[in-house]
Amino acid sequence: MGEPDILLPLPRKRAGVKPLLSHIAKVLGRVFYPPRCLACGEQVASGPGLCPPCFNEMHFFGPNQCSGCGQALDRPGQACADCHYTPMPWGRAAAVFAYAGSGKRLVLAFKHADRLDLAPHLARWLARTGGDILANADIIAPVPLHWRRTQSRRYNQSAELVRHLPLPACSKARRMFSLLSRPEATQSQEGLSRAARRENLRGKIIATPRHAPHIKGANIVLVDDVLTTGATLSAATEACFANGAASVSVLVLARVAPNG
């Protein structure tokens, strides 16, 4: 590897000391803190981003996904067979990437390894994927965790995505971090069937009493990190509709393959 390229063009307009200091800070930042791959930490040419091997392991969905559950499809504008016969309770859904390879490593690092530095980058990907969904939102809310889970993890990863989600200046959406709550702890969903997962969470997510009046007539966008069977998001959606939501849509970072 050759010497790092630290020669950046100077600002054209010399308006004073501040532009020069900003230029120097950028140069020093590149020397002492070179950009790293978000997934593996290897140095990259520019960043933040992914190195070529990690990028090759990502499966970004783009428009070719089911509008009901986010799973990958061959063509856009279709619904998968599962959603055709058993629709999800929400209206629309979008996922950024498949929960596999580098995508899975990113989610696990963000969720369990205190990688809060990933939140702004992942939130930008989420905003690009779900721009049309966000455009119609009145309220954007994270899927809640039980307080013990939040205490042990020290943060709700879904709330961090909402916190860093870039919205257009014309957006009327409100970020409401405690719109929903999960007052009861539930058994782990791991190993449970789709039906058992839904039964395990039925009625366990509710609207927070002080925020429930805001739900009536609102277009709600729920944000989560991973969609597996949709049990958690279904419970959250049902809580919104029980309090008079006009519509509910879902944005998630990763979609687990139906048979994955």
Q: Is the pLDDT of residue 13 over 80?
A: no
Q: What CATH topology corresponds to 58-255?
A: Rossmann fold (3.40.50)
pLDDT > 70 in the chain, percent: 81
pLDDT over threshold 90, residue 14: no
Neighbours of 89 (CB within 10 A): 15
What are the strands, taking DSSP E only, across the chain?
92-98, 139-142, 174-175, 180-181, 206-207, 219-227, 247-255
- Give mean pLDDT, residues 239-259: 94
| pLDDT tens digits, 152-182 | 888 999 999 999 999 988 889 999 999 999 9
- The whole-number average pLDDT for the span 250-260 is 88
DSSP β-bridge partners for residue 220: 139, 248
User: Residue 15 pLDDT more than 70?
Assistant: no
Mean pLDDT in the chain? 86
Q: Poorest-confidence range of 52-61, 64-73, 140-149, 196-205? A: 196-205
As given in the structure block, the two tokens for residue 168 are 């257009």
State mean pLDDT over 177-199. 76
| Residue 117 confidence (pLDDT) | 93
Residue 44: pLDDT above 70? yes
Alpha-carbon distance of 225 to 107, in angstroms, equals 7
pLDDT: which is higher, 73 or 27: 73
DSSP class of residue 207? Answer: E
- Say if CB 40 and CB 51 are below 8 A apart: yes
Beta bridge partners of 60: 97
- The pLDDT score that the predictor gives to residue 28 is 54
Q: Interior CA angle at 127 toward 122 and 130, to 5°?
A: 120
Q: Look at strands 206-207 and 180-181 and give their pairing.
A: antiparallel
| pLDDT-based confidence at residue 252 (cuts at 50, 70, 90) | very high
The mean per-residue pLDDT over the stretch 180-199 comes to 73
Q: Compute the distance between CA of residue 102 and CA of residue 134 in angstroms, rounded to an integer.
A: 26
What single letter denotes the amino acid at residue 228?
A: T
Give the residue, 143 or 194, on which the prediction is more confident: 143
| CATH code 3.40.50 region(s) in the chain | 58-255
Which of 131, 221, 214 lies closest to 167, judged by CA?
131
Q: Write out pLDDT tens, residues 74-129.
A: 776 678 888 888 899 999 999 999 999 999 999 999 999 999 999 999 999 999 99
The single residue listed with the structure tokens 């989420």 is 126
